[in-house]
Amino acid sequence: DAGVIQSPRHEVTEMGQEVTLRCKPISGHNSLFWYRQTMMRGLELLIYFNNNVPIDDSGMPEDRFSAKMPNASFSTLKIQPSEPRDSAVYFCASNRQGASNQPQHFGDGTRLSIL
Amino acid sequence: GQQVMQIPQYQHVQEGEDFTTYCNSSTTLSNIQWYKQRPGGHPVFLIQLVKSGEVKKQKRLTFQFGEAKKNSSLHITATQTTDVGTYFCAGQGGKLIFGQGTELSVKP
């Protein structure tokens, strides 16, 4: 079975540029999560969707960050304009929300460097 | 808001020594999950604990959930070099909140 697929795996760009990260969740999973991981702040939940609807975006750092989930098989996280402090590994995860709490399945991540 | 604290932040052991990481929540949890992240990799689910006082084992790994459902621990017996990585607990109150993780290094 295919896992969570993220692209690109690596992104290096100059500050001020728009960055778009992409995620395809596992088929049949109805919840999708975006995380940011840094040495200083650890693994932070940015936003999560349930049935394509954003449920909690309290972790989104500021208005430069936006996320969408136009359908059950695709989500994007966009940073515009990007800044050096946005450099981090961004993970997407998915699971099947139901009566019991299900483990989250993570993608390989996007390693983002803003110069 | 809900917080999940994990200690220690780093642990260096000699191969064959035991290792324990501890997780504490500021609120009562409905369940707790444990994940392992290898260097350069992504978090991978290990186990979920749901019941008060629950203990689960996976080979050399022992997971415990406290009676008050606010703390948990992961113990590894006789560490091996393959155990290297960062171990995260994640507590479910409303949403899943990850601890800061414990980075384990094992010297052969």
Q: Model confidence over A23-65: pLDDT tens digits?
A: 999 999 999 999 999 988 889 999 999 999 999 898 998 899 9
How distant is the Cα of B41 from the closest Cα of chain A, in angstroms?
A: 7
Q: How far apart are CA B87 and CA B46, in angstroms?
A: 9
At A82, the pLDDT band (50, 70, 90 cuts) reads very high
What pLDDT does A99 receive?
47
Look-up of token digits 């136009």: A70
Query: CB-based contact (8 Å) between A74 and chain B?
Result: no
Interface of B with A in 17-56 (CB under 8 A): 30-31, 33, 41-45, 48
Sort out which chain A residues have CB atoms less than 8 A from B41's CB and list them: 108
Question: What percentage of chain A has pLDDT greater than the value 90?
Answer: 84
Is the CB of A103 less than 8 angstroms away from the CB of B33? Answer: yes
Is the CB of B88 less than 8 angstroms away from the CB of A43? Answer: yes
CA-CA-CA-CA dihedral for B28, B33, B38, B44, to nearest 10: -140
What pLDDT does A1 receive?
64
B45: closest chain A residue by CA: A103
Q: Model confidence over B32-80: pLDDT tens digits?
A: 999 999 999 999 999 999 999 999 999 999 999 999 999 999 999 999 9
What pLDDT does A40 receive?
87
Nearest to A88 by CA among A4, A6, A12, A33: A12
